[in-house]
Amino acid sequence: MHAAVVRSFGTPPRYDTFATPADSAPHEILVDVLAAGLHPRVRSAADGSHYTSDGTLPLIPGIDAVGRTQEGELLYFVAPDTALGTMAEHAVVDRRRAITLPAGTDPVAVAAAMNPGMSSWVALRRRVSFKPGGSVLVMGATGNAGQLAVQIAKHLGADRVIGAGRDPRRLDLLKSLGADEVISLDGDGDGDGDEVADRLGRTAADVDVVIDYLWGRPAQQAMPALLKARTDRSKALAWIQIGSMAGQDITLPSYLLRAANLNIMGSGQGSLATAGILAELPSLAEEIASGALTVDPLPMPLDQVEQAWSAPTAPGQRIVLTP
């Protein structure tokens, strides 16, 4: 079969031939892959930097996809953590890691939106017991996952959703996706971050939940800013760490954990059982398929995988490879 193949972690995948995998257990089934999203997680697995990477080469990248069985059933599935990913003409699906999609579902929209969408969907439904009427700050709201987090928080009944990010055009667009307010994380130059911290403290001090795709410097500015400006410091603040686009580490002054009711947690592979994540997928797929959540996919044929790896995308746009 044809596939995207990584033979060295230093170079992008190439369109190549690869032995077609075979289903070998009763819960496995071979499918034709229709669409696979090029998510940040796919890139980090393909360059060997993801925390689940075990260094196996060659590998086919791709962590999830939409595929069709011989009988015509449409499936969204999550690939196993092996070297056989989804960016190929065929993939073996573990039915326990798959859900059936309604006939007529747009495979490209689902492949684009499930991974970024599930980050906030699962976090708000499984990591915290988010209640309608609550308020949410999304750090990194201008990316794919962030813009879906804004919509999903609203969809789950948030009274107030604040989006924080750098790109001014995308921040403006967030308002049309449901953000009540936006905060620019830009503007400090080489300064000490006071300007951004002031903005965060003024606008988002009393939120119930922070969904954080950035970590690094923005999180380090935002945590003290929010907690110091909080009307009631004993009111719980759930800080859900989901991505690290701005850095792997922060310095966390110990007083923040004493002087306020700060609960830092993560949401991702490992912090939740796979079964718990999978249980959330049908309802999310339904929202994507119905058009309730706005997504912006950029389909590209699989034979252009090398170009896709370096193709510029507009903020909020997700490349989807179509075999």
Site residues (CB under 6 A) for ligand NAP? 39-41, 115-116, 119, 140, 142-146, 165-167, 185, 213-214, 218, 242-246, 267-268, 315
- C-beta separation of 83 from 112 below 8 A: no
Q: How far is the CB of 306 from ligand NAP (least distance, A)?
A: 19
User: How far apart (Å, rounded) are the C-alpha atoms in residues 42 and 35?
Assistant: 14
- C-beta separation of 159 from 181 below 8 A: no
Where does residue 232 rank: exposed (0-12), middle (13-18), buried (19+ CB within 10 A)? Answer: exposed
HSE of 226 in the Cβ direction (CA atoms, 13 Å)? 30
Nearer to ligand NAP, 61 or 165 (CB): 165
Q: How far is the CB of 286 from ligand NAP (least distance, A)?
A: 19
Q: How far is the CB of 74 from ligand NAP (least distance, A)?
A: 22
Nearer to ligand NAP, 183 or 237 (CB): 183
Nearer to ligand NAP, 41 or 160 (CB): 41
HSE of 220 in the Cβ direction (CA atoms, 13 Å)? 13
Nearer to ligand NAP, 110 or 260 (CB): 110
Q: How far is the CB of 257 from ligand NAP (least distance, A)?
A: 23
Q: How far is the CB of 252 from ligand NAP (least distance, A)?
A: 18
Select the residue whose beta carbon is closest to ligand NAP and give its number. 143
Nearer to ligand NAP, 27 or 169 (CB): 169
Query: CA 229 → CA 40, 259, 290, distances in Å?
Result: 33, 12, 40
Which residues, listed in sequence order, are joined to residue 4 by a DSSP beta bridge?
A: 15
288: its two tokens = 């994507």
